[in-house]
A = this chain, B = another copy of it.
Amino acid sequence: MRTNIGLAAPAALASRYARVRALSVALAAPLSDADASVQSMDDASPAKWHLAHTTWFFETFVLRDFVPGYRLFDDRWPYLFNSYYEAEGARHARPRRGMLTRPSLAQICDWRAAVDDALLAALPGLSPEAEALVQLGCHHEEQHQELLLTDILHLLAQNPLEPALWPGDPKVPVAMPGPPGWIAGRAGEAEAGCDYPSGATAFAFDCEGPRHRVLLHPHAIADRTVNNGEWAAFIADGGYRNPALWLSDGWAWVQREGVTAPLYWRQDDGVWTRFGLDGRRPADPAAPVTHVSFFEADAYASWAGARLPTEFEWEAAAAAHDPAGGNQLDGAGPAEPRPSAGGPAFFGDVWEWTGSAYRPYPGFRAAEGAVGEYNGKFMSGQFVLRGGSCATPRGHVRASYRNFFYPHQRWQFTGVRLARDL
């Protein structure tokens, strides 16, 4: 992992480490041992597994590899909590993660505390290479914080009782906004990506680089994402029943899965409701639509006479905005997209599907060592999403940040921004 970290002092890293680690535990606080142990589908992992796997990352790549004399907390656990690092040897099969009722949630929390103690003690003496791995581990854990929330949401949605994890905010009614405005995008050559190491405090994943020139064609991009009210109109107009709107793979998916609305939506007495971490509630027409797949995003864009932006069109438009702004995860209150307060917004609420396949940039090289399996090996069959969501820890994303999922997946907080050719 080549990163461009340049922390001023270990104290800053220690502080960041402690904050990140504490947030994970806070997010898991409302969960029972059973909530934290069950796996609701192959794509998802138990919350306990996320808590353990992020701990395994620090224990393996930092404590084991850089701290002389460190002894593993339990030498049988790395086998259980390695995710996909082939270089780290055999591992428990992903779809079997929900079979691990032992160790318990409490035992995992004990492990977390022990690793935190050891790492914070070791931090002042770590080499820059090890510091970079701690930094990477923090970003890695932030990614798992978001997955923890979306996975637990998926699990709770399987329960006919539809339990709410968090109490909902009292909703302030928001007027249904008018149609989105269009921002004329830049045409011609531009720069994209993040070229590390460049110094200072910046961090980027290997797949965001190298920074390179791209060519933009004349286009415009919407100043907000599609909302629930607009999506309901798409449904009412037969959007899910008209094959002409869909990619061939998308139409096959709609037919096979019987898809008729975003994930977690249901029509109760003629009213569209959605399920969230705050339970089942009416789908606020003014709030960004979420839990839609790339296939749905693309079909919606066709219906609207538009298209999805490329990842570089998005990046050019977002570059001027504050990546730490908008509705992102602060650890307080349920993660849920909120009605727009007005004005162009590019960060938070929902990840935005782009029309760009997730592929390497010119000159891309994966990081070396086991952490080199982090991003590059996933570069087939997935699409790029940009912008972060209400479940993304605030401070985690930036304009060059590339998230990626398969086109049928929609259990993340995924939404849609339109673009069009000029």
Contacts and interface: CB of A to CB of B under 8 A. Distances in A.
Interface in A141-187: 155-156, 158-161, 163
B38 A160 contact: no
B76 A244 contact: no
Question: For the side of the interface on A, what is the size category?
Answer: 35 or more
Given A34-B34, A380-B249, A102 B161 contact: yes
A92 B37 CA distance: 20
Given A37-B37, A248-B84, A363 B102 contact: no
B104 A32 contact: yes
A151 to B, nearest CB: 12
A70 interface: no
Copy total for this chain: 4
A254 B100 CA distance: 27
A76 B378 contact: no
A339 interface: no
Given A34-B105, A215-B214, A100 B249 contact: no
Given A247-B379, A357-B359, A359-B357, A32 B159 contact: no
B160 A79 contact: yes
A379 B248 CA distance: 8
A217 B307 CA distance: 27
A322 interface: no
Given A215-B213, A217-B363, A244-B87, A159 B99 contact: yes
A33 interface: yes
A104 B38 CA distance: 13
B99 A421 contact: no
Contacts of A80: 160-161
Contact of A34 (B37, B243, B251, B362): B37
Interface in A83-140: 84, 86-87, 92, 96, 98-105
A189 interface: yes
Contacts of A34: 33-34, 36-38, 48, 101-102, 104-105
B158 A96 contact: yes
A40 interface: yes
Interface in A373-405: 373, 377-381, 383
Nearest to A250: B380
Contacts of A161: 76, 80, 100, 102-103
9 nearest CB pairs, A to B: A357-B357, A34-B37, A99-B158, A217-B362, A86-B243, A34-B101, A33-B33, A215-B215, A248-B377
18 contacts: A32-B33, A32-B101, A33-B33, A34-B48, A34-B105, A37-B37, A38-B38, A76-B160, A96-B158, A100-B159, A100-B161, A102-B163, A189-B189, A214-B215, A215-B215, A248-B378, A249-B381, A363-B421
Interface of A: 32-38, 40, 48, 76, 79-80, 84, 86-87, 92, 96, 98-105, 155-156, 158-161, 163, 189, 212-215, 217, 219, 243-244, 246-251, 294-295, 298, 307, 355-357, 359-360, 362-363, 373, 377-381, 383, 407, 421
